[in-house]
Amino acid sequence: MALLHSRQDAEDVLQEMFIEIAKKHQRVGAAKELKPYLFRMSRNVAFNLHKKSKRRAVREKSFSLLMQNQEEDNGGHAHSDLKLKLEREMGLLPEKQRAVLSLKFYRKKTFREIAEMLDISENTASSRYRYGMLKLKQQIKGGS
């Protein structure tokens, strides 16, 4: 609870702990100090859950922003072939790069704003944008 600030997440960690203990029962049994060993294990499981939920939130946020922007841009009209191709190619990018590109293209956000929204540094946002653009260009050139 102290790490995750959520009763439901803490319960998920506890369930995951039982699974980990069952998988690693020999290591757990061989631990010299059981209490610190289990505490460390639970902390690691909690951090992994937190990272996983953060990644899921970024994916969901970027997808919802992309969909919202497409609806605003199109006003309900059909997509052009070029726009469909771009969307298809963007879908092939790694999730983190796609999130940054979507926020930059569709929402016209600065790297500072993107960094704040995705809880990353400005340099990371800029790098993901640069690498995403390179991959996007390669994909489009290769697919033409």
- Chain-centroid distance, C-alpha 39: 27
Residue in 41, 47, 9, 11 with CA at minimum distance from that of residue 24: 41
- For 19-50, what is each residue's pLDDT tens digit? 989 998 898 889 899 989 888 888 888 888 87
**Whole-model pTM over 0.75:** no
In CATH, 78-144 is 3.40.1000.10: no
119 Cβ neighbours under 8 A, 6+ residues apart: 54
- Would you list the domain boundaries of the chain? 1-55, 78-144
Per-residue pLDDT band at 78 (split at 50, 70, 90): very low
Contact 94, 105 (CB under 8 A): no
Residue in 55, 74, 43 with CA at minimum distance from that of residue 120: 55
